[in-house]
Each structure stands twice: as structure tokens, then as C-alpha cells.
Amino acid sequence: DVKVTQSSRYLVKRTGEKVFLECVQDMDHENMFWYRQDPGLGLRLIYFSYDVKMKEKGDIPEGYSVSREKKERFSLILESASTNQTSMYLCASRAGGATDTQYFGPGTRLTVL
């Protein structure tokens, strides 16, 4: 079974803080993704990575950065958290085949006060 884990289920931070969200997968997948889920908007892609040290902007990268130093780990960084970044953050990974499925972690509910 593919396992994608996220470092925290719930997180509360203050405006202006630097926030790190960690994601680890155990299936040697090439591709990893960060999404945020908001009511009425579905899942929106923030950043993704095809391989170690590679990253691509998704649809809403503003205010975020990412790091992928090891294949199994993909980190999402909020340089200076703002209240509009309060959301559910979901990490996913997939192998590199054309029709391979994305496997999701349980999500991190981030609240920025």
C-alpha cells in the first residue's frame, strides 16, 4: 500500500510566521504535489515536482515556496503566513507513468490567526 504522510493534521500559526508543511511518501514516486482545498473551489495545485531538486509552479503559487532535497520528501513553505492561507493542505505523490494515479496524504488543516 502506498503511504503518504503529512507532518501535522492540525496547525495554528500567527500572521507573519514562517510555516513548514512536510510530506513524505514511501513508494519511491517521482512526482509529488501540493494542493489546497477550499469550500466551493475544490483542490487547487500550488506546486509540483517531477524529481529531486525540480519544482514547477501550479495554479496558485503566490505566497508559497517548496523544497525537494530527497525523493521521498516534499516540503511546502509559507514564507510569511497570512489569514487568506487558512486552508486544508493536501500532499500527493504518483509514479511517473502517463496514467498513474495520485495518492494523497490525510491533509493538514492550517489556521492562520
Partner 1 sequence: DQQVKQNSPSLSVQEGRISILNCDYTNSMFDYFLWYKKYPAEGPTFLISISSIKDKNEDGRFTVFLNKSAKHLSLHIVPSQPGDSAVYFCAASFNNQGGKLIFGQGTELSVKP
- Contact residue for partner 1 among 46, 68, 85, 105 (CB under 8 A): 105
Whole-number minimum distance, CB 59 to partner 1, in Å? 8
Residues in the chain: 113
Residue 103 interacts with partner 1 (CB under 8 A): yes or no = yes
Q: Which of these ranges, 12-20, 60-68, 73-81, 91-99, lies near partner 1 under the rule CB under 8 A?
A: 91-99
Residue 98 interacts with partner 1 (CB under 8 A): yes or no = yes
Whole-number minimum distance, CB 80 to partner 1, in Å? 27
Nearest to 18 by CA among 73, 85, 68: 85
Cα–Cα distance between 95 and 21 in angstroms, integer? 22
Between the alpha carbon of residue 107 and those of residues 2, 6, 16, 23, 43, the distances in Å are 15, 7, 22, 10, 12
Q: Within 52-81, which residues bind partner 1 (CB under 8 A)?
A: 58-59
